[in-house]
A and B are shown apart, each in its own frame.
Chain A
């Protein structure tokens, strides 16, 4: 029983970690909490739904054969990540960049982010309607039984993907030039353009990375829990945000650790207490953690010059 819960915790932790990554990347570079990120996750799931449905139906694609499950998955993932990055970059261009150009107070950008998130949610509701969509079954769910624990291939895929993605991102951030530029911007925004680094391009790249990871999380989430609705991004997004803050916002290992801490807390709390108390205890834990360590576990304490 414990290992079953452990597996669920790892799976949920991976979802939160993947989304928390987007929050952390954007905060590290822009010092902005992109509240619309949870809704980008939702947009990714919906885009994936449309692409997957299109590919799975032979009548729509006009092909006489249907592609094997894994091929559909790969194509869906690639295209969804690309299209969701477009959404993320579009958001940056329309909403955040003009404010950055004006040198607006960070507060106004945060409000804009909140509003952008609301627009995405309610726009989805208005355009696509309130009925829930069912994500098509791309992969047949095979269940392996290892020592009394039911392990589905989806769960394994989610956890493996999360770890791989984090390895990949750490490699980008630590080993490549553009990663170095991202870290530089998070340390000193003003000096970086003086060194000839195109700040706008780095920011666009950051949004691309964050949004594609959210899209990946969206597809994996849709594979595991195939019901899509317009407000699915809201609660998961807020929780992933908590995970990012608990781990230390601005730090990639922090997003991973925070995501797993939140996943573990939720699953094991639901195992012991009545499950309606789950959100309550998760948020209370956040409050407690933040009162002891306001910058999170891996967070850097920023000094402010008076």
Chain B
């Protein structure tokens, strides 16, 4: 029974939050902040997989988010609503509730395929050159979206609000809150399982010494591909959720600034630390909201803080350690729970 305590606790948290939101106990601004925290957790955990555990320097995360956002938005608007450009709804809007995970999955798959664009050059290059390639991919994705008139180009794409409303008509629950929380839990679970598996050990081996790993029969090409695709797929998931939260997306939200935000969250939390990236995502989102009154100066303060971080604590808040390293009782608990 002990091993289910964590699952039960998470379920209780889910139910409580959903309940509180349904009954209007949570103020809408705070709801939005919670939703963004969820999205940021997914982004930072997925980027940590590549930048932290694998030691690469990928600065194009926003590009994959954009792919996921656009693919899932276009799908959901095409299937479930009457759109001027894309035609009448193909399926009845009530099905939106049941098919929404499939739409998010489609967005993630598209983003994972886009991840191949970065994975293949990474076989031959590392470090600075890979950074350039990932930046170029980010720009290319943004450019392609801007040039595709069918999805609105630079003016943006909207209509997701009606899909969410359709879901609310079926059952009056805060659907986006539910989907975001499920998505976040799913991401954290997947990455935790991935990292503690042989794949995860292989990835850390690639970071430590790629040639030695290759000698030790680690299939570096395959692992790099898997890691990049998983990372960009999860970023696509975050993008899909982000698009449906806001109801409107445009290529301008997926520029290098967004990638830089993801980088900040990863390095703030600690490279190779899942709990670090979760904590830093929460902290960073809250910080952004706290600094909102400062408006423009916010974007001077945040990079400055990161520079200070690089000077005084470059490994991030948690370094390479996980939360269970700080709470020995928790670690002992896990050990006994697994028996």
In the bound complex, residues from chain B placing their C-beta under 8 Å from that of A112 are 306-307, 310-311
Given A110-B131, A114-B260, A241-B132, answer yes or no on A105-B314 (Cβ-Cβ < 8 Å): yes
Query: Judging by beta carbons under 8 Å apart, are B296 and A286 in contact?
Result: no
Q: Say which residue of B137, B267, B299 sits within 8 Å of A287 (CB atoms).
A: B137
CB of B296 within 8 A of CB of A122, answer yes
Distance in angstroms from A46 CB to nearest chain B CB is 16
Is the C-beta of A70 less than 8 angstroms from some C-beta in chain B? no
Partner of B139 from the list A106, A109, A276, A283 (CB cut-off 8 Å) is A283
Closest to A249 in B: B128
Closest chain B residue to A121, Cβ basis: B299
Please name all residues of chain A whose beta carbon is closer than 8 Å to the beta carbon of B303 when the two chains form the complex. 114-116, 118-119, 122
Q: Looking at the assembled complex, report how far the CB atom of B247 sits from the nearest CB atom of chain A, in whole angstroms.
A: 26
Contact mask B128-144 → A, CB, 8 Å, 1/0? 11011101110110011
Chain B interface, DSSP helix/strand/loop, else mixed: helix
| CB contact between A33 and one of B128, B144, B267, B296 (< 8 Å): that residue | B128
Chain B residues, Cβ within 8 Å of A257:
none
Given that A111-B267, A283-B139 are contacting pairs, would A276 and B146 also be in contact in the complex, using a CB cutoff of 8 Å?
Answer: yes
Across the interface, do B304 and A126 meet the contact criterion of CB distance under 8 Å? no
**In this complex, what residue of B is CB-closest to A296?**
B129
**B contact residues around A104 at 8 Å (CB):** 310, 314
Report the contact-size class of chain A (Cβ under 8 Å from the partner). Answer: 35 or more
Chain B residue with minimal CB distance to A104?
Answer: B314
Interface 0/1 of B281-299, CB less than 8 Å to A? 0000000000000001101
B3 CB-CB contact with A under 8 Å = no
Task: Give the distance to chain B from A30, nearest Cβ to Cβ, in Å.
Answer: 12
Chain B residues within an 8 Å CB radius of A125: 296, 299
Known: A110-B131, A241-B132, A291-B124. A283 touches B143 (CB 8 A): yes
Q: Tell me the number of A-to-B contacts counted with CB atoms below 8 Å.
A: 104
Which B residues between 50 and 68 are near A, CB-CB below 8 angstroms? 57, 59
Please judge, given known A-B contacts A98-B311, A283-B143, A284-B140, whether A115 and B304 are in contact too, CB under 8 Å. Answer: yes
Contact residues in A for B143 (Cβ distance below 8 Å): 276-277, 279-280, 283
Give the complex CA separation of A95 and B327 in angstroms: 35
A 237-275 to B, binary, CB cutoff 8 A, 1 in contact else 0: 010011001000100000000000000000000000010
- Check A51 for interface membership: any CB of B closer than 8 A: no
Evaluate contact between A123 and B300: CB separation under 8 angstroms. yes
Q: Which of A33, A109, A249, A290 contacts B125 (CB 8 A)?
A: A290
Docked complex Cα distance between A276 and B143 (Å): 8
Give Cα A237 to B22, complex, Å. Answer: 48
Q: Are A286 and B132 in contact (CB under 8 A)?
A: yes
Dominant secondary structure of chain A at its interface with chain B: helix
B263 within 8 A of A: yes
Q: Given A119-B300, A126-B297, A279-B139, does the pair A287, B121 have CB atoms closer than 8 Å?
A: yes
Is B147 located at the chain interface by the 8 A CB criterion? Answer: yes
CB distance B299 to A118 under 8 Å? yes
- Is B211 interfacial (CB-CB < 8 Å)? yes
Determine the chain A residues whose CB is within 8 A of the CB of B296 once the complex forms.
122, 125-126
> Which interface residue of A114, A245, A284, A306 has the most chain B CB atoms within 10 A?
A114
Specify which chain A residues have a CB less than 8 angstroms from the CB of B121 in the assembled complex.
Answer: 287, 290-291
Of listed A98, A104, A126, residue having the most chain B CB within 10 A: A126
A109 proximity list for chain B (CB < 8 A): 310
Query: Which residues, 155 to 188 on A, are CB-close (under 8 Å) to B?
Result: none
- State A108–B313 Cα separation when bound (angstroms): 10
> Across the interface, do A294 and B125 meet the contact criterion of CB distance under 8 Å?
yes
* CB < 8 Å neighbour of A290 from B133, B307, B314: B133
B140 touches A118 (CB 8 A): no
CB pair A99–B311 under 8 Å, yes or no, is yes
Could you tell me which residues of chain A, from 108 to 146, have a CB within 8 Å of some CB in chain B? 108-112, 114-116, 118-119, 122-123, 125-126
**Contact pattern, A 197-208, Cβ under 8 Å of B = 1, otherwise 0:** 000000000000
Q: What is the distance, in angstroms, from A114's C-beta to the closest C-beta of chain B?
A: 6
Which residues of B sit under 8 angstroms from A111, Cβ to Cβ?
Answer: 263, 267, 306, 310
Report, nearest first, the 9 A-B pairs whose CB atoms are least far apart: A115-B303, A280-B143, A122-B299, A126-B296, A118-B303, A283-B136, A108-B314, A108-B310, A119-B303
Sample (20) of A-B pairs whose CB atoms are under 8 Å apart: A104-B314, A106-B127, A108-B314, A110-B128, A111-B263, A112-B310, A115-B303, A116-B303, A118-B300, A119-B304, A122-B296, A238-B256, A241-B132, A242-B132, A242-B136, A276-B147, A280-B140, A280-B143, A284-B136, A287-B121
